[in-house]
């Protein structure tokens, strides 16, 4: 069986060609039949939706609805960065991460990144620049994470929320990249940010 991928009018479609079908044009988009909110939380909502598949069959899709988050890789200078060390309950581990947090209602990603940088590290940045955005778990979550870089840091005081217990550490950039390679850093946004700048030759 052969398969071709086409982009037509902004829509991706597959064209399957085999001896039995003679060619079938399949629109991959699933159509919502019924949306059901199973749980409403302070951070995420859980949905279980009924959808119609491209072939007409019916299936369910369970997913978390998340407002999105912004993160920032802060450069103290051209060789050192700031990372956050904190305990993550779901995995029962202490992690190294770049500062990040949920985007508040009415807040744009760069405002969130700036706010989280101050709250978690005490640093303010003279320059914040958007790097990229990504979906960490598109199979079961709507969450999108924006990654920013921060330069021209000015030291200040942390302003952590009541349920946050974390510490910030200045780490050599190349050492942080090594921590990724040996598995000491496993957080996806942190890995993406570090490897992005490692590929650009920074640090």
Question: Is a pLDDT exceeding 60 seen at residue 15?
Answer: no
Name the domain boundary from 65, 93, 120.
65
pLDDT band at 27 (very low <50, low <70, confident <90, very high): confident
pLDDT band at 16 (very low <50, low <70, confident <90, very high): very low
Q: What is the dihedral of CA 164, 169, 173, 176, to 10 degrees?
A: -60
* CB 118 within 8 Å of CB 124: yes
CA distances from 44 to 37, 41, 69, 103, 203 (A): 11, 5, 12, 12, 36
Judge if 14 and 77 occupy the same domain: no
Question: Is a pLDDT exceeding 70 seen at residue 159?
Answer: no
Judge if 54 and 73 occupy the same domain: no
Q: Which domain range does residue 41 map to?
A: 2-65
Pairing mode, if any, of strands 145-154 and 69-74? parallel
Judge if 60 and 76 occupy the same domain: no
Judge if 98 and 40 occupy the same domain: no
Bridge partners, residue 24, by sequence: 16
Number of domains in the chain: 2
Q: What is the pLDDT of residues 80-136, one digit of tens each?
A: 999 999 999 999 999 999 999 999 999 999 999 999 999 999 999 999 999 999 999
- CATH code assigned at 185: 3.90.79.10
Judge if 102 and 135 occupy the same domain: yes
H helices, E strands: number in the chain? 3, 14
If DSSP codes are grouped into helix, strand and coil, which group holds residue 117? helix
């Amino acid at each position: 069986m052969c398969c071709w991928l086409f982009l037509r009018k902004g829509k991706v479609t597959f064209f399957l060609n085999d001896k039995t079908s003679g060619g079938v044009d399949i629109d991959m988009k699933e159509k919502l039949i019924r949306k059901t909110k199973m749980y409403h939380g302070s951070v995420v909502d859980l949905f279980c939706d009924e959808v119609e598949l491209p072939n007409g069959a019916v299936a369910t899709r369970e997913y978390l609805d998340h407002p999105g988050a912004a993160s920032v890789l802060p450069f103290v200078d051209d060789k050192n960065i700031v990372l956050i060390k904190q305990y993550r309950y779901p995995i029962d581990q202490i992690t190294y991460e770049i500062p990040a947090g949920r985007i508040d209602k009415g807040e744009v990603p760069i405002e969130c990144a700036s706010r989280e940088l101050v709250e978690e590290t005490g640093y303010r940045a003279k320059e914040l620049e958007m790097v990229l955005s990504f979906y960490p778990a598109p199979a079961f979550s709507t969450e999108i994470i924006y990654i920013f870089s921060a330069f021209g840091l000015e030291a200040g005081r942390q302003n952590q929320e009541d349920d946050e217990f974390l510490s910030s550490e200045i780490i050599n950039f190349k050492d942080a990249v090594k921590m990724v390679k040996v598995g000491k850093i496993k957080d996806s946004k942190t890995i993406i940010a570090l490897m992005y700048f490692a590929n650009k030759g920074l640090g």
